[in-house]
Structure formats: structure tokens, C-alpha cells
Chain A
Amino acid sequence: MSAPLMLEVDAVSKSFAIPSVRRDTVREHVLAAFKPRRFDQLQVLDGISFAVARGEAVGIMGRNGCGKSTLLKILSGVYLPDRGTVQAHGSITPVLELGVGWNTELDAIDNVMLIGSVMGMSIAEIRHSLDDILAFAELERFAKLKLKHYSSGMSERLGYAIAFKAVRDVLILDEIFAVGDAGFKQRCEARYLELRAHGHTAVIVSHDPRIIATYCDRALLLDAGRVAFEGPARDVAAHYVSTLTHAGSAS
């Protein structure tokens, strides 16, 4: 690979200990002090390795429960892998499942300030881009409305609008282009292409073969926590569709 690497994922594994009984209060622990629990290890990721070059767009596909979301959380620095390493040679801006996380007691402007600064923008940058962000999400009229009164679509649009502004190097997107009406989707796609043209790197999770084939250079197909197939985005998308059809006809 000629371009310098932006993300290096090396043998990443992650498992979660699932207790036979859930205890998450002091009271439950004290009352059941002499009743041991059984823990089952759920291996979600099992030795995942890949690299993303600067300016490249990599798609991640796979069926529900194959580890996509966990992998994105590890790439984003939300989760820590059990084994293996993730090296990022740039800053990462994630939009994980269902948006970016809001303080629902505050209005859109305050939330943009908060999430923008969490995503690494300076206060001046956020103030400067505030109008653009609200315009992109088509929420100018609702700028002073508390987020608890927003519909889920409205807050998701706002999330993407901030992330598109805040991104410096790598954009991580979970089910992008699945949000908003046709007009918003179109603007997202245009913005995404614009960012790519400026050399930004992207990691995209999607179930939609069209999105992976259109917007990614390369893709990985995850199955049971491993990379089952890797290659040009179109091939992986086609492979994903054929595995689904096989599974469908087999059952």
C-alpha cells in the first residue's frame, strides 16, 4: 500500500463476560454474597486485523451480532480491546449507533457547543460554524428548543451535521445515509464526497450493499467476530448479498 496508514488494527479481540444473574447494586451483592455466579464469555471479536490508508474509505459489513458495533466502538476509543492494538495516526470523529449522545435538557445550540468541543473543535470554531451546522440539519427554527422535544430524526440530523463539521482526519459512521428524508440523505452524500475529495479517511458500517459499493474503496465482511472476506467494496457487497441469499434459501 503506497499511501501512509491512518488506522492500524492488529489482532483485536474482545469478549464480554455475561453473568448468569445480573447484580448491579450493593444490596444485591450483599444479599447474594455466598451465591456464586457463573460467567459465560461471549467472544464478540476474535483476532481482527486490517489497516486503513490515509484518504481511504473502508466499509464494514456483516449480519446482526457479528461484532460491527463493538469494532466501531473500539476504533473510536470508547471500548478497550482485550487483546491486540488499534493505532490511529490522526484524530477520529465517530457517529455511533443512533447519533452522538445529547444532553436532552439543553437546547440545540448548547448541545452543539458540547458535542463540538467533545469532538475537538475550539469554542471559536463552533461559534463560527453554528449557523452552518443548524442549516445543514435544517433546524434553524428549532435552535432554542430543548433536545427532549426533538424527534429522533431531528437529533440524528444534528449529530451528522456536527460530525461533518468537526471531522479532522477520520470519520467513523454507523449506518450513515439511513437518516432523514431524501433531501437530507442527498446532502449527507454530497458532503461525504466533498470530505473524501479533501482527503479525509472514512470507516463506514452499513447493511446496505449499495452504500458500501458506492461510497467505499474497500470493505470487510465480518462473521462471528472474524474477518470472513476482504476486498474491493463491490466484491464484498456482492459476497454479502450472496451469503444472505444462501442463508435464506438454506433455511
Chain B
Amino acid sequence: MTLPLASSAPIASTASNARGRSYAGLVWTLVRTDFKTRYHGTAGGFAWALLKPMGMFVVLMGVFSFLFASKPTYKLDLIVGLFLWDFFAEGTKSGLMSLNTKSYLLAKTRVPSWILVVTSIANAVITLVVFVVVIGLFLLATGHAPTMGTLLVFGLYCAALVAMVVGFALGSSVLFLRYRDLNQVWDLMLQAGFFLAPIIYPLGILPERFHFYLYLWPPTPVIEFSRMVLVAGAMPTLRGHTYLAIDAAVCLIVGIIVFTRLSPRAAEYV
């Protein structure tokens, strides 16, 4: 059997230019691989995965909308909070495990490890996009039609949340290879964090002196500001926005620093 050689590509091609050309393809196949592994490669599998947060929404709404019956926008607040939280929880969980899940590439091939981490969040981002559409439909149905302006601001909040998740994913993915129970620790923190973030309750029911501490938990400002813009039709202050921007930048930068320090030796811990 004679086979045509792949090496019609010039042998003189340098490593860097061969890599530059293939990054787009690499990112695409990694995202596709994750999607296939996670959802069995079908749209049905993807829809199935959406049932969990939707079901959660129905149950929580059924129970808590009675408790907070005095707040007419409770359902909208809940769906905004819950879906943003779901993205945060799913994105950080898959980011934390990303290098371990892809250890078969890390240990055997020359692959830029940051791409493995960042692409692992793609599935959560796809889900977030679907959630945003669902939120939009809910807003329309309840007479809170968003304007282009509010959508743009909300898009920026989502971007800030993505930056936080990417930062966390970068830092935690390399730490997980050294501390193999970090996922359990993080699961516990997520459980507590679900209640620390004002998702099922309005922030207003807590005394104002505690608000500062709740805002230290990264998802809180994103959830609160999104509700303000989308549901209440109000705009957070410049100070608030500055805080959110710094918060997202700090998460991202700390993640990048941890990753840059530990990732060169990550393959040795696989």
C-alpha cells in the first residue's frame, strides 16, 4: 500500500508558524470534544443538561415565591440569579478539572496548556448563551422588554463573570494536579456560596452592614447589577461598576499568575 505523504508541507516551516496556523483548529476540536463527551454528541443530550437548572428554577420558584410574595419581580430576580450562578458553578467546576480531564494530552503531546483550560469553559458559555435567551424571553413575557443599552450593559456583566471564571479555572486547574481533593473543597464552597450570593433571597432582607461582605463573593455584584439593569430598570453607580471591573481583573490576573508559575511543570504531576 502506498500512501501520499503529509509532508507536502514544506519541511522548512518553523514551529511558530505551524502552531499559529493550527490554533483555531485546535480550539475548535477541543470544544467539539468536550461537547461530544459531555452531551454524547447530540442536541438531545444538550437539552437534557439544561433540564437541571430549569428544574431547579421551577422548584425554587414554587417554594420561595410564596415566601417573597411581597416582591412582584421575585421570579425574574430568581431566574437571572440562578442562571448566572449556574454558569459560575459549572464553569469553575469544569475549569478546575480541565487539566486532569485532558491529562492524556498534557503528558503525551506538546500542547499549550492554557488552551486546554480556557476551552473547557466553552460548554458552560454555550449554556450561558441559551440561558440569556431564556431570560430575554421571560423579560419580554413579563413586560420588561430590555433595550439595546441594557442588553449591552448586561453583556459586559456576563463578560466580567466569564473573566472571573477563566481566572479561577487557570489557577485552580494547575493547583488541582498538586492537591487532588480540591474539587471536593470547591464543591463545598459552591454549596455555601449558593446561599452567600443573593440568589434565592433579595439582598435587601439582610442588614446593610453585611452587604459589603456579600459583595466580596465574586458572583454577587454580577447578579445584583444584572437584576438592577434588566429587572428594576436602574443603573448601578460608577463606583459599583469600578468595583466590578477591579474584581474581575483581580480574579483573572491572580489566576494567570498562579498558572504561569505552576503550569510549566504541570505535566510532571499528571
A92 to B11, CA, bound (A): 11
The interface residues of chain B lying within 8 Å CB-to-CB of A194 are: 5
Give the Cβ gap from B123 to chain A, nearest Cβ, in Å: 14
Report the number of A-B residue pairs with Cβ-Cβ less than 8 Å: 135
Give complex CA distance A118, B11 in Å.
18
Interchain CB contact (< 8 A) of A117 among B26, B107, B179, B265: B26
Query: In this assembly, does B18 line the interface, its C-beta being within 8 Å of a C-beta of chain A?
Result: yes
The CA of A249 and the CA of B111, in the complex, are separated in Å by 45
A94 touches B110 (CB 8 A): yes
**Binary B-proximity of A14-31 (CB < 8 A = 1, otherwise 0):** 001000000011110100
Smallest CB gap from A93: residue in B: B110
User: A24-B178, A90-B13, A106-B36 in contact; A135/B1 too (CB < 8 A)?
Assistant: yes
> Which residues of A88-136 are within 8 A (CB) of B?
88-92, 94, 96, 99-103, 105-106, 110, 113-123, 125-126, 129, 132, 135-136
Chain B residue with minimal CB distance to A76? B110
Count of interface residues, chain B, beta-carbon cutoff 8 Å: 44
- Given the known A-B contacts A94-B110, A118-B109, A135-B1, are A89 and B14 also in contact in the complex, defined by CB atoms under 8 Å? yes
* B7 contact from A100, A102, A167, Cβ within 8 A: A167
**Minimum C-beta distance from B187 to chain A (A):** 12
Docked-complex contact A114 and B30, CB < 8 angstroms: yes
**Do B109 and A122 have beta carbons less than 8 Å apart?**
no
User: Assuming A195-B5, A198-B5, is B33 touching A91 (CB within 8 A)?
Assistant: no
Instruction: Tell me how many residues of A have a C-beta within 8 Å of chain B.
Output: 58
A200 to B13, CA, bound (A): 12
Measured between alpha carbons, how far is A123 from B25 in the docked complex, in Å?
Answer: 6
Q: Check if A77 sits within 8 Å of B110, measured CB to CB.
A: yes
Show 19 A/B contacts (Cβ-Cβ < 8 Å), sorted by A: A24-B178, A25-B179, A26-B181, A26-B182, A78-B109, A78-B267, A90-B15, A91-B15, A100-B109, A101-B105, A110-B33, A115-B109, A117-B25, A117-B30, A118-B26, A125-B6, A165-B6, A191-B3, A199-B11
